[in-house]
Amino acid sequence: MADEQKRSPILFDASGPPDEADFLEHLGHEVLVCHGPDAGTLCPILSGDGCPTAEEAHGVVFELDLDRPQHRAILLKYKESLREDVPIWVVVRPDQATSHPELLSGLKVLNHRPSLGELDGLAAEVEASDLE
């Protein structure tokens, strides 16, 4: 796919490196990675400076810890500021899903890292929203 133009970018907001990046890149998507703010640092999306990486994303896989207030605020900001057609998938522990139902409302919630088949589905969602 080196000669083809990259498809819409997908953001992984995760504490660790996404093993799945190669799969999405093989499908032609650019993979953007943010590991969240450093301890003691406010995420630029919360400071009002904005986040060009998030604004560029056409899909998001959010794997940051919802037990941390700043991470919950980042997810809320994504819901409020990203285009409505940008799919946001959130990976949580089961207890977090029951503790934050309002925050997770309207989002695809997983209690495991997305499988390759699920990521293929995310890529299809992103591509379909780009056609609209």
pLDDT digits 0-9 by tens, 95-112: 999 999 999 999 999 999
Q: Which fold has domain 7-131?
A: Rossmann fold (3.40.50)
Per-residue pLDDT at 28: 84
- pLDDT band for 6, please (50, 70, 90 cuts): low
- What is the residue whose two structure tokens read 């604004």? 55
Buried b (16+ CB within 10 A) or exposed e, 26-35: ebebbbbebe
Does position 33 have pLDDT exceeding 60, yes or no?
Answer: yes
Per-residue pLDDT at 5: 54
Report the mean per-residue pLDDT for the chain: 86
- Residue 8's SS3 state is strand
Does position 25 have pLDDT exceeding 50, yes or no?
Answer: yes
Per-residue pLDDT at 18: 67
For the chain, domain boundaries: 7-131
At 36, give phi and psi (nearest 5°): 85, 170
